[in-house]
């Protein structure tokens, strides 16, 4: 019954009413909404723009020829590429979804785009409300540089992709790191750009997916030993001098700053040297 599904007084996962109420209270002109349950979005917001589901969609052909949700006509999205294209632009996109399905019903690439490009604004009872980040950018699908470096405990850095590949003073390098194996929950990722004297001239330390993945879902994130795409935006100072630079990546404890060891460490400081960059 509808009253059971949306009863905010019941314990458990059914908190869609509160999630949509949060979106409604923060919805600005021009914002758009996507959900796995477009009718619920329409019920609470009088708005349902996108239907984000990969398994067993209920569809109709819209008047414009697009496939959409059978009940509301919300445009159907079922791939990471379609999701990325929808997020492209200046408008804010909201997503209301059940936590279980976020970690179990989307393929890894789509799931990681959601976690990498959206902020968790509200979450209770197994339902999340997320919104696109103002500075969002899509994670790369494939690693352009292969490393296969292993850390103590079983975490592996498979490789990375940097866009643009040639850094420039005052620019931003968008780095997608490809992880696999037993990633340490709660550890912070170190991303440092070092000059010839080993001074850190830029850094983008961060938690994987901004620490929004709860410990109860960490295993779901790492299931099937799939590569985990992790994004870091490295802002370079405008006065960065020409020369050769090294890019280092590692893990450390956010309270003690103790580094996670690297097997066959070549950096001398428990980090992985991704490579050298020449700034001209």
CATH of the domain at 212: 2.60.40.2550
Q: Is the pLDDT confidence value at 5 over 90?
A: no
Q: What is the predicted pLDDT for the residue at 221?
A: 85
List, for residues 109-130, the tens digit of each pLDDT value.
999 999 999 999 999 888 999 9
- Which whole number is the average pLDDT over 91-118? 95
Same domain, 107 and 35: yes
DSSP string, 89-132: SSS-EEEEEEHHHHHHTS-HHHHHHHHHHEEEEEEETTEEEEEE
Q: What is the predicted pLDDT for the residue at 228?
A: 96
List, for residues 181-239, the tens digit of each pLDDT value.
999 999 999 999 999 999 999 999 999 999 999 988 998 888 777 899 999 999 999 99
Q: What is the predicted pLDDT for the residue at 14?
A: 65
Q: Is the pLDDT confidence value at 252 over 80?
A: yes
Q: Is residue 140 part of a domain?
A: no
- Which whole number is the average pLDDT over 11-15? 58
Separation between Cα atoms, residue 165 and residue 199, nearest integer Å: 21
Q: What is the predicted pLDDT for the residue at 13?
A: 53
CA distances from 13 to 7, 193, 219 (A): 10, 43, 19
Same domain, 97 and 152: no
Q: What is the predicted pLDDT for the residue at 224?
A: 74
Q: Is the pLDDT confidence value at 63 over 80?
A: yes
Neighbouring CB atoms inside 10 A of 8's CB total: 12
Task: For the chain, give the mean pLDDT.
Answer: 93
Same domain, 171 and 200: yes
Same domain, 226 and 256: yes
The pair phi, psi for residue 44, each rounded to 5°, is -90, -30
Same domain, 11 and 84: yes
Query: Would you mind telling me the total number of residues written for the chain in this entry?
Result: 280
Q: Is residue 137 part of a domain?
A: no
Both tokens of 30, joined, read 């021009």
Q: Which of 132, 159, 191 is the last residue of a domain?
A: 132
Same domain, 97 and 180: no
Q: Which of 132, 165, 195 is the last residue of a domain?
A: 132
- Give how many domains the chain has, as a whole number: 2
Cβ-Cβ contacts under 8 Å for 235 (sequence gap 6 or more): 172, 202, 204
Boundaries of domain holding 30: 2-132
Separation between Cα atoms, residue 140 and residue 162, nearest integer Å: 9
């Amino acid at each position: 019954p509808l009253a059971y599904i949306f009863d905010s007084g019941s314990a458990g996962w059914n908190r869609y009413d509160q999630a949509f109420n949060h979106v409604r209270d923060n919805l600005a002109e021009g914002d758009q909404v996507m959900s796995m349950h477009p009718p619920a979005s329409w019920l609470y917001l009088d708005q349902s723009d996108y239907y984000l589901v990969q398994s067993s969609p209920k569809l109709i052909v819209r008047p414009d020829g697009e496939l959409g949700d059978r009940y509301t006509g919300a445009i159907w999205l079922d791939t990471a590429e379609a999701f990325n294209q929808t997020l492209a632009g200046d408008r804010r996109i909201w997503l209301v979804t059940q936590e279980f399905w976020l970690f179990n019903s989307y393929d890894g690439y789509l799931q990681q785009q959601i976690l990498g490009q959206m902020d968790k604004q509200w979450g209770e009872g197994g339902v999340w409300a997320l919104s696109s980040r103002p500075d969002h950018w899509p994670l790369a699908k494939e690693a352009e540089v292969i490393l296969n470096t292993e850390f103590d405990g079983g975490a592996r850095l498979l490789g990375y992709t940097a866009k643009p590949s040639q850094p420039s003073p005052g620019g931003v390098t968008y780095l997608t790191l490809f992880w696999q194996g037993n990633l340490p929950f709660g550890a912070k990722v170190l991303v440092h750009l070092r000059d010839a004297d080993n001074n850190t001239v830029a850094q983008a330390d961060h938690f994987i997916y901004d620490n929004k993945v709860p410990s109860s879902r960490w295993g779901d994130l790492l299931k099937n030993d799939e590569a985990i795409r992790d994004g870091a935006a490295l802002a370079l100072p405008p006065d960065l001098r020409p020369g050769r630079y090294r890019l280092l990546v590692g893990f450390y404890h956010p309270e003690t700053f103790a580094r996670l060891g690297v097997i066959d460490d070549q950096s001398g400081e428990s980090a992985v040297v991704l490579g050298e960059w020449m700034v001209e």
